[in-house]
């Protein structure tokens, strides 16, 4: 079975997906094999431009064409290696004839199973300000909390101008850690969704004893592995 990755969103996250899929596949399915994969790497700067410019239809068309390219390349199952495009999950998967494993569904399920109910959320501005990670919890007692607007602006800039390029400066990491501390101080969070697939690169559970980190990259890949295990 060939795995398709809609990647480039960002390149750093795509690299993490590639390595993690191989590692988990060999750990849980076949230690001697390397899973077949095809990656469609889109232009993250174009996606950022379309997203911030609220050019939703152009973005949907661009990503839909990339999904079609993955199918043409023989993908039997697809992962969209980013949180923000899941805002348009239904639209960009509408004409996809193979399973597309949702990072949103996988992460939401993990949050619900954790019994944590005061959840911080970090990610791009569209991810933090939309209902993407609020809608799944409407009929639960789970609440979602995000940083102040100025902190959201800071995080968005760092994601696209630095983290996406593999630039992780100590002062920026400390600033993100301070955001988490502020969320905890203000809202008493007991969980945190790392709603940007670059964040797990430098935010690790061992550093946050009282807050459960939901690593969306790892959770997404775990969901893929469970899917593959069910296939003959």
Whether the CB-CB separation of 192 and 180 falls below 8 Å is answered with yes
pTM of the model: 0.94
Task: Return the domain boundaries, the chain.
Answer: 3-102+219-229, 104-216
Topology classification of domain 104-216: Rossmann fold (3.40.50)
Q: Which tokens hold the place of 89?
A: 């999950």
Tens digit of each residue's pLDDT, the chain (232 residues) = 999 999 998 889 999 999 999 999 999 999 999 999 999 999 988 988 888 888 999 999 999 999 999 999 999 999 999 999 999 999 999 999 999 999 999 999 999 999 999 999 999 999 999 999 999 999 999 999 999 999 999 999 999 899 988 899 999 999 999 999 999 999 999 999 999 999 999 999 999 999 999 999 999 999 999 999 997 7
Cα separation, 70 vs 64, in Å, equals 10
Domains 3-102+219-229 and 104-216 share a fold: yes
pLDDT per residue as tens digits for the range 193-205: 999 999 999 999 9
Percentage of residues in the chain with pLDDT exceeding 70?
100
What CATH number does the domain located at 3-102+219-229 have?
A: 3.40.50.1860
């Amino acid at each position: 079975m060939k795995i398709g990755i809609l990647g480039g969103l960002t390149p750093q996250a795509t690299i993490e997906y590639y390595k993690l899929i191989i590692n988990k596949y060999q750990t849980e399915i076949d230690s001697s094999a390397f899973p077949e994969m095809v990656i469609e790497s889109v232009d993250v700067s174009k996606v950022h431009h379309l997203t911030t410019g609220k050019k939703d239809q152009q973005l949907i068309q661009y990503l839909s064409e990339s999904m079609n390219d993955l199918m043409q390349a023989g993908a039997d199952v697809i992962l969209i290696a980013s949180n923000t495009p899941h805002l348009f999950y239904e639209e960009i998967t509408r004409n996809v004839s193979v399973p597309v494993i949702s990072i949103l569904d996988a992460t939401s399920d993990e949050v619900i199973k954790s019994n944590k109910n005061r959840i911080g959320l970090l990610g791009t501005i569209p991810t933090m300000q939309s209902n993407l990670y609020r809608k799944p919890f409407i009929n639960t007692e789970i609440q979602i909390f995000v940083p102040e607007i100025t902190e959201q602006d800071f995080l968005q800039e760092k994601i696209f101008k630095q983290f996406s390029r593999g630039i992780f400066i100590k002062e920026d990491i400390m600033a993100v850690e301070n955001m988490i501390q502020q969320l905890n101080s203000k809202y008493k969070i007991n969980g945190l969704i790392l709603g940007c697939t670059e964040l797990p690169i430098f935010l690790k559970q061992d550093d946050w004893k009282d807050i459960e980190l939901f690593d969306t990259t790892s959770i997404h890949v775990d969901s893929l592995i469970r899917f593959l295990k069910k296939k003959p």
